[in-house]
Amino acid sequence: MLNSAYQFSSIAATELEYGLNIEKRTIFLNGEIEAGDGLFFTQKMELLNRFSINCVEENNPITIIINSGGGDVYAMFAIIDAIRGSKSLVHTVGTGQIMSAASLIIAAGTGKRIVTPNTSLMIHEMSTGLAGNTSLIRANSKHIDQLQDRFVRLYEEFTGKASSFWKRKMVNELYLSAEEALQYGLIDEITYDFRGALTPPEKEEEEIPDEA
């Protein structure tokens, strides 16, 4: 009993401190996405993928649970690359707020992409504050345009809707309900019970016919 309680407290402490539950193969992405979060997320994905070396990918997916208002664009690209490059299938689950960069991260899932019913999503153009002399602003502006084009192309890839569609929608901040996000192709399913939705059905045992 004592060992069981110690094990539970150890798992809970790891989950709270590092946003990682190895037993459930779950990563928690919560709050603002900061510059260092790209590498930290990649490290957690690498750890979980190492536990999958002798496993069948479909039976050992990784789940990313997200509640974020967005954040650093470079960290966002790193997180997306880690998801898309994973050896294991990656489910993405959104709850609460899925804003800005987080909306592209949830759409990047390679398995099921789920939000809970009262989740709000928001998409917009990349934001930046350019400063410096004219030459520096011009160079930075060109780089921002390249990032924005990449941003839009990924929305197209993950949702099946054309880049021109997303460019129109991003002119102003666009807030979406869970149902609207489903229509836009950002997610695949809306449910309270996301763990149940991610549990594969048990295979029925084949009946062996009696020998005559």
Q: Which residues contact 107 (CB under 8 A, 6 or more apart)?
A: 92, 113, 154, 155, 158, 159, 185, 186, 187
In a domain, 177, yes or no: yes
Write phi, then psi, for 179 (nearest 5 degrees).
-65, -40
In a domain, 115, yes or no: yes
Q: For the chain, what is the domain count?
A: 1
pLDDT value for 5: 46
78: amino acid identity, one letter: A
pLDDT value for 23: 86
Percent of the chain whose predicted confidence (pLDDT) is above 70: 76
pLDDT value for 8: 45
Helix (H, G, I), strand (E, B) or coil at 14: helix
Cβ proximity of 94 and 102 under 8 Å: yes
Exposure string of 66-90, with b = 16+ CB inside 10 Å and e = fewer, is bbbebbbbebbbbbbebbeebbbbb
Cβ proximity of 94 and 116 under 8 Å: yes
In a domain, 208, yes or no: no
Residue 144 pLDDT class (50, 70, 90 cuts): confident
**Average pLDDT in the chain:** 85
Residue 15 pLDDT class (50, 70, 90 cuts): low
The reply to whether the predicted model has a pTM over 0.75 is: yes
Q: Which domain holds residue 21?
A: 2-129+170-193
| Better-predicted residue by pLDDT, 162 or 208 | 162
In a domain, 104, yes or no: yes
Closest residue by Cα to residue 75 from 105, 114, 116, 113: 105
Residue 204 pLDDT class (50, 70, 90 cuts): low
Positions marked active-site: 100, 124
The two beta strands, 90-99 and 62-68, are parallel
Can you give the C-alpha Rg of the chain in angstroms? 20
pLDDT value for 57: 46
Helix (H, G, I), strand (E, B) or coil at 28: strand
Question: Is the pLDDT score of 24 beyond 60?
Answer: yes
| Better-predicted residue by pLDDT, 6 or 182 | 182
User: How far, in Å, are 121, 157, 171, 209 from residue 154 at the CA level?
Assistant: 17, 5, 17, 51
In a domain, 153, yes or no: no
Chain-centroid distance, C-alpha 194: 14
pLDDT value for 84: 97
pLDDT value for 49: 87
pLDDT value for 56: 46
pLDDT per residue over 95-143, tens digit each? 999 999 999 999 999 999 999 999 999 999 876 554 555 566 667 778 8
Q: Which residues contact 125 (CB under 8 A, 6 or more apart)?
A: 148, 170, 171
In a domain, 151, yes or no: no
In a domain, 198, yes or no: no
pLDDT value for 6: 45
pLDDT per residue over 43-67, tens digit each? 999 999 887 655 544 468 999 999 9
In a domain, 70, yes or no: yes
Q: Residue 60: give its domain's CATH number.
A: 3.90.226.10
